[in-house]
Amino acid sequence: MQTTSTPTHCPYCALQCGMNLSPLPSGGVEVVERTDFPVNRGALCGKGRTAPEVLSSRVRLTSPLVRSEDTLVPATWDEALDRIAEGLRRTRTEHGPDACGVFGGGGLTNEKAYALGKFARIVLGTSQIDYNGRFCMSSAAAAGMKAFGLDRGLPFPLEDIPRTGCVILVGSNLAETMPPSLRFFNELRENGGTLIVVDPRRTRTAEQADLHLSPRPGTDLALALGLLHLIVAEGRTDETYIAERTSGWEEARAAAMAHWPEYVERITGVPVPQLREAVRMFCEPESAMVLTARGPEQQSKGTDTVGAWINLCLATGRAGRPLSGYGCLTGQGNGQGGREHGQKADQLPGYRKLVDPEARRHVAEVWGVDPDSLPGPGRSAYELLDALGTDIKSLLLMGSNPVVSAPRAAHIEERLRSLDFLAVADVVLSETAALADVVLPVTQWAEETGTTTNLEGRVLLRRQAITPPEGVRSDLHVMHELAARLGSERGLEKGFPTDPEEVFEELRRASAGGPADYSGITYRRLAEENGVFWPCPAAGDTNSGANHGADSGVDSSADSHADSGADRNVDPRADSNADDREDASLDAALPDDPAGGRAEADAGAAVHPGTPRLFLDRFATEDGRARFVPVSHRAIAEEPDNEYPVLLTTGRVVAQYQSGAQTRRVDELNAAAPGPFVELHPRLAERLGAAEGDPVAVVSRRGRAVAPARITSTIRPDTVFMPFHWPGEGRANTLTNPALDPTSRMPEFKACAVRLETVRR
Ligand code: SF4
């Protein structure tokens, strides 16, 4: 094992901050600053700094558990795996393959996400696989596909932000979710650029904005339409760009012109002068960006809402141009890679469509199966969870805790309890794992090697720095063993290697030619280059579908690949760094290449440099043009009424991460954020008769949650906010509405109707 520091990445959010792990005499590791990774340059938030505590947590699972009557008791790995194989086999025999469900997570490495999708489709033969990333960025992904023909969270590196003229940040509280990223926005303002934040709350991020727009939750779509109306009315559109690089403008323009600023003010609560000021700030500079996060995306009209913000970029010529564009700030650690490699209900590796015959043929060939044997698309995440106990009888779950994180969580908890069989792989006994028939203790980030893809589309290598505890095995080992038990009759038992690099080599082949083409990326390159942006076709492959619209040719002093010209019309050998990379020394910790794939990608100097910036020449649509999508305002699925007169919105706090399964086990983070709260305006608190810290019940049509009042004038008087990291009485997702976006199938986490009650204790 390592005796010196190991460069790696944080296990939590999509920024994937770089860090070094230094061995401790006790056998553990500590986090040491790593300044060579350009995203964070050494900065970390408290979650990243304390991440090693989860490795040695006293509540860490170190033995498989199996249910014996009502309790979970320790078992051997063979006993536990046999029980899972038996449970899944029985379901498949009695009810058919689609009665077996698989649920993954946006925290799984690319290798695990790939193996899980393959396992579900060829070993279980089920179409019923999806993952919690559906709850994260699926609306932005759907809108990006519609408009640009390709979804990559950010189509440019974060390092471009300080050099643009204006950023509109919609529904993102970066100061709490990704603190090190604030540096880019601070530099933007130091350089004379401006920051507009759109958020119903005056968050710590909004405090730093030049202009804060505070719309009523769920009205961001109308807000974007009102801004576009003013842009047209004030003659600020870029007609040359619209004519040369887009289609569908007339319909989108007509839809926007039906949304008069005064009408938009009535819907959103944002005064017309603020709309005019936002338009001026956005349109006057040479370049500008719109970045969205969960605020506009987690809505039952999330795809249209993001589409409206993209329309704003297209009408002003702000997409596919240097230092401009639309981007989504993906949330989970591998939210980007997790959606590219096959654990999503409708996709195959390489971000290919499951219904595309050519994609099925290609992937089936890599997997050694008949394309016709691959199942079709399955249910989306909430629909899959909602079908547990009825259509779906058994579930294998990895890297997710839906008892806390799913909408209408009490109902989902009941669905999980109604299953014939539930198996969960996790590092601690999460609230979901506690319901399982079998729990498998699996390795964590620093105990295994694997790749993730951060919010910029930068593929990264997480390296093993520590030996896992006795009794703990990797998720890849779990799939290997289950395939041996369930796939032998179809000759599939050998298709699930446990070595992550071997899995990655197969992933490269499976993704080759797809939109998210990783075929030119190797562990060696990742180690040498500090990450590689996809698409990155293998050497000599100039026909990759990934190259549509991809061009890294923008002048950038901040990016060493800036002038490398990754367009398919440009010889990648123009990359002056290629030869240097050939000579660079390998990280001694890396295992040998098991599949010979390195030789394929690295032979000679014709190495594709990766693609930091997309769309500069053309978009990834068939005709190369971006598509306006005409959208109109519509209300949230559940408007307040006399019975439920207040809006609830949910989100995160800086010291906790997602369902809190890991961060709630870290003393320092727990001390900083020990439990849920209800944030409400003083006027609302006065009407309720609640003082600071008083328990307040928040009641929706789906249930009731109780948490202490936190009274602040930074929130709208018609809205309350709850963070969603905790189970039990204060579980925010007991209240949230599972109304789904018709395109992305995203639930409406961000707005539902509630009433407030005081609680006597
Ligand atoms: Fe960086 Fe996110 Fe980890 Fe914090 S949680 S250190 S912002 S990657």
Q: Could you give the CA distance from residue 734 to residue 738 in angstroms, rounded to a whole number?
A: 11
Q: Could you give the CA distance from residue 51 to residue 39 in angstroms, rounded to a whole number?
A: 18
DSSP state of 397: E
The CA 22 to ligand 1 mean position distance, Å, reads 18
Q: Could you give the CA distance from residue 218 to residue 268 in angstroms, rounded to a whole number?
A: 9
Q: Is the pLDDT of residue 552 over 60?
A: no
The CA 181 to ligand 1 mean position distance, Å, reads 9
- Asked if residue 418 is part of any domain, the answer here is yes
Residues in the chain: 761
Q: Which atom of ligand 1 is nearest to the CA of 51?
A: 3
Most informative mutation of 9, 12, 725 for ligand 1 (most atoms within 8 A of CB): 12
Cβ-contact 169, 182 below 8 angstroms: no
Residue with CA nearest ligand 1 atom 4: 45
- Asked if residue 246 is part of any domain, the answer here is yes
Q: Which atom of ligand 1 is nearest to the CA of 44?
A: 6
Q: What is the mean pLDDT of residues 707-732?
A: 96
The CA 657 to ligand 1 mean position distance, Å, reads 10
105-663-5 Cα angle (round to 5): 90
Cβ-contact 753, 640 below 8 angstroms: yes
pLDDT at 376 (0 to 100): 96
For residues 487 and 522, membership in a common domain is answered with no
> The domain that contains 343 carries what CATH number?
3.40.50.740
pLDDT at 760 (0 to 100): 82
DSSP 203-263: -TTGGG-SEEE-PPTT-HHHHHHHHHHHHHHTT---HHHHHHHEE-HHHHHHHHHTS-HHH
For residues 125 and 149, membership in a common domain is answered with no
Q: Is the pLDDT of residue 428 over 70?
A: yes
The CA 37 to ligand 1 mean position distance, Å, reads 13
**Pocket lined around ligand 1, Cβ cut-off 6 Å:** 10, 12-13, 15-17, 40, 44-45, 47-48, 178-180
Tell me the pLDDT tens digit for each residue of 594-628.
333 333 344 445 799 999 999 999 999 999 999 99
Share of the chain above pLDDT 70, in %: 91
The CA 17 to ligand 1 mean position distance, Å, reads 6
Contacts (Cβ under 8 Å, ≥6 apart) of 98: 126, 127, 128, 375, 378, 391, 392
Residue with CA nearest ligand 1 atom 6: 48
> The domain that contains 754 carries what CATH number?
2.40.40.20
For residues 377 and 449, membership in a common domain is answered with yes
Q: How far is CA 552 from the centre of its chain?
A: 24
Q: Which atom of ligand 1 is nearest to the CA of 48?
A: 6
Q: What is the mean pLDDT of residues 699-720?
A: 97
Most informative mutation of 8, 9, 10, 174 for ligand 1 (most atoms within 8 A of CB): 10
Q: Which of 306, 328, 350 is the last residue of a domain?
A: 328
Q: Is the pLDDT of residue 555 over 60?
A: no
For residues 398 and 275, membership in a common domain is answered with no
Q: Could you give the CA distance from residue 92 to residue 95 in angstroms, rounded to a whole number?
A: 6
Most informative mutation of 8, 9, 13 for ligand 1 (most atoms within 8 A of CB): 13
pLDDT tier, 333 (very low <50, low <70, confident <90, very high otherwise): confident
pLDDT averaged over every residue in the chain:
90
The CA 194 to ligand 1 mean position distance, Å, reads 25
Q: How far apart are the first and last CA of the chain?
A: 54
Q: What is the mean pLDDT of residues 57-72?
A: 94
Tell me the pLDDT tens digit for each residue of 346-381.
999 999 999 999 999 999 999 999 999 999 999 999
Q: What is the mean pLDDT of residues 560-577?
A: 30
- Asked if residue 398 is part of any domain, the answer here is yes
pLDDT at 458 (0 to 100): 97
Residue with CA nearest ligand 1 atom 2: 13
For residues 401 and 432, membership in a common domain is answered with yes
CB count in 10 Å sphere of residue 302: 32
Q: Which of 328, 360, 375 is the last residue of a domain?
A: 328
> The domain that contains 18 carries what CATH number?
2.20.25
Q: Which atom of ligand 1 is nearest to the CA of 177?
A: 7
Most informative mutation of 20, 45, 136 for ligand 1 (most atoms within 8 A of CB): 45
- Asked if residue 155 is part of any domain, the answer here is yes
- Asked if residue 625 is part of any domain, the answer here is no
pLDDT at 488 (0 to 100): 74
Q: What is the mean pLDDT of residues 509-524?
A: 96
The CA 54 to ligand 1 mean position distance, Å, reads 15
Q: How many domains does the chain have?
A: 5
Q: What is the mean pLDDT of residues 279-299?
A: 96
Q: Which atom of ligand 1 is nearest to the CA of 181?
A: 7
Cβ-contact 398, 112 below 8 angstroms: yes
The SS3 assignment for 425 reads strand
> What is the domain range of residue 459?
65-135+335-493
Q: Could you give the CA distance from residue 631 to residue 25 in angstroms, rounded to a whole number?
A: 60
DSSP state of 550: B
pLDDT at 540 (0 to 100): 67
Give the CB-side neighbour count of residue 533, counting CA atoms within 13 A: 26
Q: What is the mean pLDDT of residues 273-297?
A: 97
Share of the chain above pLDDT 90, in %: 86
Residue with CA nearest ligand 1 atom 1: 17
For residues 186 and 290, membership in a common domain is answered with yes
- Greatest CA separation found in the chain? 74
pLDDT tier, 2 (very low <50, low <70, confident <90, very high otherwise): low
For residues 194 and 276, membership in a common domain is answered with yes
Residue with CA nearest ligand 1 atom 7: 178
Q: Is the pLDDT of residue 224 over 60?
A: yes
The CA 186 to ligand 1 mean position distance, Å, reads 18
Most informative mutation of 9, 19, 44 for ligand 1 (most atoms within 8 A of CB): 44
Cβ-contact 756, 722 below 8 angstroms: no
Q: Which atom of ligand 1 is nearest to the CA of 657?
A: 5
pLDDT tier, 345 (very low <50, low <70, confident <90, very high otherwise): very high
- Asked if residue 615 is part of any domain, the answer here is no
- Asked if residue 639 is part of any domain, the answer here is no
Q: What is the mean pLDDT of residues 543-549?
A: 43
Most informative mutation of 17, 33, 653 for ligand 1 (most atoms within 8 A of CB): 17
Rounded to the nearest 10°, the torsion over CA 483, 484, 486, 489 is: 120
pLDDT at 589 (0 to 100): 29
For residues 40 and 88, membership in a common domain is answered with no
Strand partners, 740: 747
For residues 175 and 245, membership in a common domain is answered with yes
Strand partners, 292: 170, 328
pLDDT at 541 (0 to 100): 59
Find, among 647, 733, 658, the residue nearest to 400 by Cα.
Answer: 658
446 versus 562: which is more confidently predicted?
446
Contacts (Cβ under 8 Å, ≥6 apart) of 99: 91, 92, 126, 128, 391, 392, 393, 394
- Asked if residue 150 is part of any domain, the answer here is yes
Tokens of 4: 């010196």
Q: Decide the pairing of beta strands 18-23 and 29-32.
A: antiparallel
The CA 48 to ligand 1 mean position distance, Å, reads 5
Q: Could you give the CA distance from residue 741 to residue 221 in angstroms, rounded to a whole number?
A: 13
For residues 190 and 214, membership in a common domain is answered with yes
For residues 254 and 351, membership in a common domain is answered with no
The CA 343 to ligand 1 mean position distance, Å, reads 24
Tell me the pLDDT tens digit for each residue of 123-175.
999 999 999 989 988 999 999 999 999 999 999 999 999 999 999 999 999 99
> The domain that contains 264 carries what CATH number?
3.40.228.10
Q: Is the pLDDT of residue 583 over 90?
A: no
The SS3 assignment for 311 reads helix
Q: Which of 328, 356, 384 is the last residue of a domain?
A: 328
Q: Could you give the CA distance from residue 6 to residue 462 in angstroms, rounded to a whole number?
A: 9
Question: Which of 160-169, 175-184, 444-453, 480-489 has the weakest average pLDDT?
Answer: 480-489
The CA 205 to ligand 1 mean position distance, Å, reads 16
The CA 10 to ligand 1 mean position distance, Å, reads 6
For residues 96 and 148, membership in a common domain is answered with no
pTM across the whole model: 0.90
Q: Decide the pairing of beta strands 65-68 and 71-74.
A: antiparallel
Q: Which atom of ligand 1 is nearest to the CA of 10?
A: 3
Most informative mutation of 34, 47, 184, 663 for ligand 1 (most atoms within 8 A of CB): 47
What ipTM describes this predicted complex? 1.00
